[in-house]
Each structure stands twice: as structure tokens, then as C-alpha cells.
Homo-oligomer: A and B are copies of this chain.
Amino acid sequence: MRAIQRLSKGSNQPAGAVERLYRLVEADLAHVNALILERMRSDVPLIPELAGHLINSGGKRLRPMLTLAAAQLCGYQGLGHIRLATAVEFIHTATLLHDDVVDESDLRRGKAAAHVIWGNAPSVLVGDFLFSRAFQLMVETGSLRVLNILSNASAVIAEGEVMQLSTMRNLGVSEETYLKIVAAKTAALFAAAAESGAVVAQADGLREMALKTYGHNLGIAFQLVDDALDYSGREAMMGKAVGDDFREGKMTLPVIHALANASAEEVDFWRRTMAQRTQTDADLTHAIHLIDKHQSIAATLTRAKQFTEEACRGLNVFPDSPMRRALSELAEFCVNRAY
């Protein structure tokens, strides 16, 4: 229930939406959580210690839930989706550990990031360990197609992360480039999580594609909302610091939008703070003011809403069912959590 509480904080009506999905996959998710604990074990104590710090920190388990939900929606009766969902969560955790080193973020899910406590080296290596564990789990499913989907996604995620690094502090980044980065670094795993659930259930190509499309669009919407919250959210709700993206010079849609509508003086502000990263404490407040002035959060969320609508349209190949409705509501909630 901890995951639900975290998700529902700061919003009213949407909590029910995630809870409905959660109820539908609850039994499977309990198996996933047990398998996570089992497979992060190692004779080297630092590994479960560090991995557990992040894995037990109230993450939403959104991606493994997608895998479980997709498999169920396709009528799957076996147990392969448990391993698969665990693999998906391990890949996600590995990328978080590496991201925190890359971003130099101090907070993750409301706790000190692992690299702050243990240093960069163990964070990198435990990330590698979890990534390997993910592939071991996939091998156990015996499905080369699943391995294909998730190894492709992993490569795309890494490409997206490097692409993002390459565009840091670059005021010339377009919305198109930003969306390309988001599609790679975030949506690829959402898409793979949902698609591979369909594959393990041996669904036909149409349903596979529908779930992949759903995951892809949901993932983009999810990241857009995250990027909006980075300027508009409350720290207690997000479990990470407000303004991290600003401090790192990460070009996200709120800034890209505010910059597209900026006066010459405002462009100078963004150049100094984002491109040159010479920031004072008051600058974040001013950045939020400018983003507010140009209604850039609203613009970002409108864009996110388009992606969630696209996500839901993808589900139309499935007959109406509690699971289909839960997935639609999840997509809507994904944007509503920002209001």
C-alpha cells in the first residue's frame, strides 16, 4: 500500500485510479516483490544493502505493474510474467542508480541517493549487478522475443541518456529533440514493459502493438509531467528536490516553452543560469516565475494530455474490461497528479 499512498499524495480523485489497477495485479505484485528480494541477494553484503535502500524506498512499481497488467489483459494464466516484471523493475532500478551518479542528484524518492551514502563506485557496480540479474530473469522466461524487446529497450535508454547529456545547457534544444530524448530515456522501458507482458501471454501482433503503443505514450506523458513537477511540485510530494533540472541545466519542456516565448532580457537570464550555470539562490524562484508567466507548465501538461489520450486510444483493440478501464484511468491519473 505504500506505493499507493505515495502516488495519491497531493491529488484527490486520481488515487482511486491507481488503486484499481493495484487491486487487479495485487496478487502478482506480491510475487514480484518476493522475487525482487530473493534476486537482489548476494554473498557480498553491500549489494543487497545498497539495492535495498532504493528498492524498498516506496517506488511505485509502475513499470512492473504494466507488465503484469498487460499479461492479464491478454488473458495470460502462467507465471512467466512474474519473472519478467521483476526484470523490468531491476532494469529500472539499475538506470536510477546510474542516473543518480550522472545527475549528481542528492535525493531520490525522499531519501538520500545511494551515491551520497556509499559513493559513486558501488552505485555504478550495483546498477550493473541488477542489470545482469534482469537478464538472468529474462533468460529464465525462456523467451528470446522478450530478451530481444528488453535488450533493445536497454540500448535505447542508454542512448537517450547520452543524448540528454549532449544537450545539457544547450538553449537551442527543440521540443522535437526533447521528445526524442524522452521517448528513449523513459518511454522505451514503459513500452517494453507493456509489450513484453503481451508477448509472454502469446497475444497476437495487434494486441502486442496496442500495448507497446500504450506504454510508449504513457511513458512520454509520465516524463512530461515529471518535468513539469520539477518546477511546480512540492518536494514532500515528489520525494526529490524541486529545481534539480534547473540546477543541472537540463533542457526540459517547461524551459523550452518559456524560452520560445522569452523577451531578450529573459533569454539572457536563461543563458546565464542554464547555459552557463552561474546561478544564485534567487534564480530558481525567478525561473519558476518566468515559467509561470508564459504558462509553460500548462503547455507542458496539455502536451502530456495528448499523449495519454493517444495511450488510451491504443487500448481500443481490447474489449471493455476492468483491466482496460484501470489502464485508461492510470493514463488519466498520470497527468492529473500534477494538478
A165 to B126, CA, bound (A): 11
Q: Note all chain B residues with C-beta closer than 8 A to A79.
A: none
- Pair B166/A46 contact, Cβ less than 8 Å: yes
A282 touches B (CB below 8 Å): no
Asked if A159 is at the interface of the complex by the 8 Å CB criterion, the answer is: yes
Which residues, 24 to 51 on A, are CB-close (under 8 Å) to B? Answer: 42-47
CB-nearest residue of chain B relative to A155? B132
Selecting from A5-13, A134-142, A221-229, the interface stretch reads A134-142
Question: Which B residues touch A144, using CB under 8 A?
Answer: 139, 142, 144
* Chain B neighbourhood of A120, CB < 8 A: 101-102, 120
Query: Which of A106-114, A146-154, A328-336 lies on the face that meets chain B?
Result: A146-154
Contacts known (A162-B47, A163-B44); A102 close to B131, Cβ less than 8 A = no
Known: A46-B166, A147-B139, A147-B147. A158 touches B98 (CB 8 A): no
A47: chain B residues within 8 A (beta carbon): 159, 162
Which of chain B's residues have a CB closer than 8 A to the CB of A158? 125-126, 128-129, 132
Q: Is residue A161 contacting chain B, with contact meaning CB distance below 8 A?
A: yes
Q: A42-B159, A44-B162 are in contact. Are A98 and B128 (CB under 8 A)?
A: yes
B95, B122, B124, B139: which contacts A151 (Cβ < 8 A)?
Answer: B139
- Compute how far the CA of A165 lies from the CA of B151 in the bound complex, rounded to whole angstroms: 28
A133: Cβ under 8 A from any B Cβ:
yes
Distance between Cα atoms of A129 and B144 in the complex (Å): 20
**Chain B residues with CB below 8 A from A132, complex form:** 151-152, 154-155, 157-158
Which of B121, B136, B162 interacts with A125 by CB under 8 Å? B162
CB distance from A164 to the nearest CB of B (A): 9
State which size class the interface on A falls in.
35 or more
Give A126 to B98 CA distance when docked, in angstroms.
Answer: 11
Interface centre among A44, A46, A120 (most CB of B within 10 A): A44
With A42-B159, A144-B144 known to touch, is A152 a contact of B125 (CB < 8 Å)? no
Alpha-carbon gap, A101 to B119, bound state (A):
11
Chain B nearest CB, measured from A114 CB (Å): 12
How far does the Cβ of A49 sit from chain B's closest Cβ, in whole Å?
10
Chain B residues with CB under 8 Å of A95's CB are: 128
Interface residues of chain A, those whose CB is within 8 Å of chain B, are 42-47, 95, 98, 101-102, 120-122, 124-126, 128-129, 131-133, 135-136, 138-139, 142, 144, 147-148, 151-152, 154-155, 157-159, 161-163, 165-166
Sample of 25 A–B contacts (CB below 8 Å): A44-B159, A46-B162, A46-B166, A47-B159, A95-B128, A101-B120, A101-B121, A122-B162, A124-B124, A125-B162, A126-B162, A128-B154, A128-B161, A129-B155, A129-B159, A132-B151, A132-B154, A132-B157, A135-B151, A135-B154, A136-B148, A136-B152, A139-B151, A142-B144, A144-B144
